[in-house]
Amino acid sequence: MKISVDTESCVSSGQCVLLAPETFDQNEEDGKVVVLAPEPPEGEREAVRQAELTCPAAAIRLT
């Protein structure tokens, strides 16, 4: 699994951080998503899938 995000689309809602805090963080200035682990460990992958589905801006892409 590899993660890519569209920071232009991100609306700084923070759901991804709540769901997968070891993979996602938010920029302190504008709240935009920051990917901490582009290739998340097995134990975090289901949470990352949930983040992809939950993101209100559809800004998270998994490949």
CB of 11 or CB of 36, closer to ligand SF4: 11
Rounded least distance, CB 44 to ligand SF4, Å? 15
Strand partners, 24: 35
Q: CB-wise, 39 or 61, nearer to ligand SF4? A: 61
Q: Under a CB-based contact definition with an 8 Å cutoff, are residues 6 and 61 in contact?
A: yes
Yes or no: say if 32 and 12 are a contact pair by the CB < 8 Å rule.
yes
Binding residues for ligand SF4, per CB under 6 A? 5, 10-16, 26, 33, 55-57, 59-60
Q: Select 47 or 59, whichever has its Cβ closest to ligand SF4.
A: 59
Report d(CA 61, CA 13) in Å as an integer. 16
